[in-house]
Amino acid sequence: MQNFNFQDFEIWFVTGAQLLYGGDAVKHVDAHSNEMVAGLNKSGNLPVKVVYKGTANSSAEVAAALSAANADKKCAGVITWMHTFSPAKMWIHGLKGYQKPLLHLHTQFNKEIPWSEIDMDFMNLNQSAHGDREFGHIVSRMRKNRKVVVGHWQDGKVHEHIAVWMRVAAAWADAQDMRIIRFGDNMNNVAVTDGDKVEAEIRLGYHVDYFSIGDLAAEVKRVSEKQVDELVAAYEKEYDFADNAKRGGKDHAQVREAARIEAALRKFLEAKGAKAFTTNFDALHEINQLPGLAAQRLMAEGYGFGAEGDWKTAALVRTMKVMAHGLDGGTSFLEDYTYHFKGKGSILQAHMLEICPSIAGAKPRMEVHPLGIGGKADPARLVFTAHEGAGVAATVVDMGNRFRMIVNLVDVVKPEAALPKLPVASALWIPQPNLEAGAAAWIYAGGTHHTSFSYPLTREYMEDYADIADIEMVTIDGNTSIPEFKKELRLNEVYYLLNRALQY
Ligand code: MN
């Protein structure tokens, strides 16, 4: 994946303790913690390496550990655990300055109570049950978001929850130096794809820069015929071809032109250190065709993408691609296009061209067709239908006083029949709980027509992200009822107004 590797990150593990029980107790705590961290790493269930940072036995030690975590580039977050009782006032100074994701692992070293041997020494050493409650209190008292995972450290379910959070923590770290390149502005007059880029950088970390499409056009002119030949050969290996798009076909020149744009765009993004980009069909100037194929293939390499200048979606696509990295199933930019009012009701998701082939159900087909918008030459594109399966569709909107993330659980289904005349990639999904309530809730929440969609991700990932970013999140799922959902939106309005006044 472009510019991303889980191996570039670490998660630190800090065990809370105190010296009340004597130096021997701390030695046990330390030995147990070492064994647990080694066990977590050996489980093979965690995408990011856990690094044990020792016990923290005083306010100064906590502050030192957490400020070191803030400063360390590799550290994407900290896991805390209280083996014994760790009086939580000693966590105040450290937590006050701590800026990265926090996971509180509420576990204990032993899995079961040793009935015949348990004595007070054992109890004093193994008292996470109350030590972790003391720690949890101060985190709540300080209004710090964190994820609490409960269970024995060797349990696969516990690993799953930690793994989700690790993926999100790494995606969060990735977003903190994410540069998004926008060719042109947002599509004129469109409200929902626009927003406050300054607030986005403060709150979400990523940075959005504007470039003229002329800068890309200049790069297109520098692409050699050999580079084009190589890309077209790669296309021929990976995709089927429509007759007119094939070598010798009447529109093959458009495929070559698309390859030229792809090579230029990739080079441009690499040179600028960008992880995501947007285009605008209305601002193409010397570019011969809308860069649809390039957007499709660059998304498949891990770049975030949003059409019509939609930088918020470009950022979210990148972030969700990082979260999902290495998992089965794809992640793509999509747009709600057309409804099918039958049964539960479904939505045909598509775009003018730019859907990521990672969600394709079968080998994509290279086609060239006219595009009835933008007034440019006929663009090449990959055409396919997304495979069946559950997934999440998400968007972030700017509500004026805050960002709101809207998440809808959806079920991608097989279309009733082939769509032989549809010249673009598509996905047909049923939004949960059904089209009627799903679409109504989405609209009440102010959601976009653009989404970032992913098969392997679940609500838990999105919730971890919203908690880390400290933004509002509303979920539309199988239990959504419109009266309750409207109430949630109204309560959130009050919560976020008051939250500003209460911020620590
Ligand atoms: Mn669009």
Q: For residues 17 and 83, what is the distance between their CA atoms, to the nearest angstrom?
A: 6
CA of 141 to the centre of ligand 1 (A): 43
Q: pTM above the 0.75 mark? A: yes
Q: Is residue 1 part of a domain?
A: no
Q: What is the pLDDT of residue 251?
A: 95
Of 148, 175, 202, the one marking the end of a domain is 175
Quote the pLDDT of residue 86: 81
Report CA(314)–ligand 1 centroid distance (Å): 12
Distance in angstroms (rounded) separating the CA atoms of residues 498 and 491: 11
Domain co-membership, 189 together with 254: yes
Identify whether 191 is part of a domain.
yes
At 83 the pLDDT is 87
Q: Are residues 167 and 207 in the same domain?
A: no
Residue 465 · residue 171 · CB < 8 Å? yes
End-to-end CA gap in the chain = 37
For residue 171, give every residue at least 6 positions away whose Cβ sits within 8 Å of its Cβ, in sequence order, or none.
319, 320, 322, 323, 465
Helix (H, G, I), strand (E, B) or coil at 39: helix
126, 185: one domain: no
Q: How many other CB atoms sit within 10 Å of the CB of residue 103?
A: 22
Rounded CA separation 103/216 (Å): 43
Q: How far apart are CA 4 and CA 19, in angstroms?
A: 41
> Please, are residues 208 and 180 in contact by the beta-carbon 8 Å criterion?
yes
Of the three residues 143, 175, 207, the one that is the final residue of a domain is 175
100 & 116 share domain: yes
- Same domain for 262 and 241, yes or no, is yes
The CATH number given to whatever domain includes residue 56 is: 3.40.50.10940
What's the total number of domains in the chain? 2
Which residues place a Cβ less than 5 A from the ion ligand 1? 307-308, 335
Domain extent at residue 156: 6-175
- Pair 158, 188 in one domain: no
> How many angstroms does the Cα of residue 62 sit away from the middle of ligand 1?
48
Query: Distance from the CA of 483 to the center of ligand 1, in angstroms?
Result: 30
Contacts of 32 (CB under 8 A, 6+ apart): 83, 109
**Secondary element (H or E) of residue 208:** strand 207-211
Residue 350: closest CA among 364, 334, 361, 362: 334
CA distances from 475 to 113, 336, 407, 454, 486 (A): 39, 18, 5, 15, 12
Is 103 within a domain?
yes
Cα of 354 from ligand 1 centre, angstroms? 9
Does residue 140 lie in a domain region?
Answer: yes
Tell me, in angstroms, the distance from the centre of ligand 1 to residue 164's CA.
Answer: 30
d(CA 372, CA 43): 53
* The predicted structure's pLDDT at residue 291: 93
For ligand 1, the distance from its centroid to the CA atom of residue 391, given in whole angstroms, is 20
In a domain, 217, yes or no: yes
The alpha carbon of 307 and the centre of ligand 1 are apart by a number of angstroms equal to 5
| Residue 255 falls inside a structural domain | yes
Are residues 302 and 405 located together in one domain of the fold?
yes
Residues 223, 78 share a domain: no
Q: Is residue 332 part of a domain?
A: yes
Judgement on whether residues 88 and 103 belong to the same structural domain of the protein = yes
Using an 8 Å Cβ cutoff, are 499 and 431 in contact? Answer: no
Contact 66, 16 (CB under 8 A): no
CA of 288 to the centre of ligand 1 (A): 20
Does some domain include residue 53?
yes
Q: For residues 245 and 390, state if they share a domain.
A: yes
* 504 residues of the chain, pLDDT tens digit each: 888 999 999 999 999 988 777 778 888 889 999 999 999 999 999 999 999 999 999 999 999 999 999 999 999 999 999 988 888 999 999 999 999 999 999 999 999 999 999 999 898 888 899 999 999 999 999 999 999 999 999 999 999 999 999 999 999 999 999 999 999 999 999 999 999 999 999 999 999 999 999 999 999 999 999 999 999 999 999 999 999 999 999 999 999 999 999 999 999 999 999 999 999 988 888 888 889 999 999 999 999 999 999 999 999 999 999 999 999 999 999 999 999 999 889 999 999 999 999 999 999 999 999 987 777 889 999 999 999 999 999 999 999 999 999 999 999 999 999 999 999 999 999 999 999 999 999 999 999 999 999 999 999 999 999 999 999 999 999 999 999 999 999 999 999 988 777 765
Judge if 157 and 248 occupy the same domain: no
The reply to whether 22 and 156 lie within a common domain is yes
Last residue of a domain, one of 157, 175, 193: 175
Given a contact cutoff of 8 angstroms between Cβ atoms, the answer to whether 381 and 293 are in contact is: yes
Q: b/e per residue, 170-205, with b = 16+ CB within 10 A?
A: bbbbbbeebbbbbbbbbbeeeebbbbebeebeeebb
Distance between Cα 449 and ligand 1 center (Å): 7
